[in-house]
Amino acid sequence: MEVFSNAPSAFPPRRPVIGGQEYCLRRADRDDIYQILLLEKEVYQGQLPWSQKIFAKELRRRDSLYLLLYFGSYLVGMVGCRFRFYQAHITYLAVVPQLQGRGLGTYLLTVILNEVKKQDLNKVTLEVRVENKKAQALYRHLGFRDNFIRRNYYTNVDRPDSDGLNMICDLRKKNYCQW
């Protein structure tokens, strides 16, 4: 039996400045699902790897934290994480394509890693497509290392199945409080 811990209960909205632009970061709730699905369609070229039902389930979980990053009224990024008894697992990271490479993904990951550290968890895992070298570079920059391959982890109706690279980060080895 896997034991879960609660995600942080309080996450007050923040107004970070990234690359000279002001954004709003806040916790996601079920009322945000429509906007989240629009973000996902934009990030995944019209596809919806996660359904409305999956997002609704994730946002109800007591062991999960999902954060939304807005530029004005436009949802530009999202990160999600599950908090387990011994470690955390990043379940979701997305930034709209036209704003990738501007530090938004780094910011979102840094915030979630700091939240993990606040819960006294030392290890964080995630999966990324083996062909997504850009995301892997971001994760390695933040201290993640390759762990193992999950064969046929990602399945799509429009293209062949893809392997997932499991990556792991030991938070005791790096300070993420740079934002």
Which DSSP string corresponds to 15-31?
--EETTEE-EEEE--GG
| pLDDT for the residue numbered 69 | 98
Q: What is the pTM of this model?
A: 0.88
Q: What is the per-residue pLDDT for 76?
A: 97
C-alpha distances in angstroms, 13 versus 5, 26, 69, 126?
22, 4, 10, 25
Output the pLDDT for position 129. 86
Given the residues 66, 115, 127, 154, the one annotated as active site:
127
What is the CATH number for 161? 3.40.630.30
- Rounded Cα distance, 78 and 134, in Å: 17
Write down the pLDDT at residue 50: 82
Q: What's the pLDDT score for residue 6?
A: 66
Distance CA 90, CA 163 (A): 17
CA distance 26 to 92: 15
For residue 96, is it within any domain?
yes
177 is a domain residue: no
Domain-embedded: residue 158? yes
Whether 127 is a known active-site residue: answer yes
The answer to the question of residue 152 being in a domain is yes
Residues 118, 150, 166, CA angle at the centre, nearest 5°? 25
Total domains, the chain: 1
**Dist CA 179 CA 164 (whole Å):** 29
| Catalytic residue status for 115 | no
pLDDT at position 140 is 92
pLDDT means over runs of 10, the chain (179 residues): 62 94 96 94 83 91 95 96 91 94 95 91 91 91 86 61 86 62
Q: Cα separations (Å) of 131 from 43, 101, 157, 175?
A: 16, 18, 18, 28
Q: Residue 37 falls within a domain, yes or no?
A: yes
- Does residue 166 belong to any structural domain of this protein? yes
pLDDT of residue 157: 47
In a domain, 109, yes or no: yes
Give the number of C-alpha atoms closer than 13 A to the C-alpha of residue 179, restricted to the C-beta side: 22
Residues sharing a CB contact under 8 Å with residue 157, sequence separation 6 or more, in sequence order: none
Look up the domain containing 62 and give its range: 17-170
- DSSP state, 101? T
How far is 16 from 38, CA to CA, in rounded Å? Answer: 23
Within-domain flag for 127: yes
Catalytic residue among 23, 139, 154, 176: 139
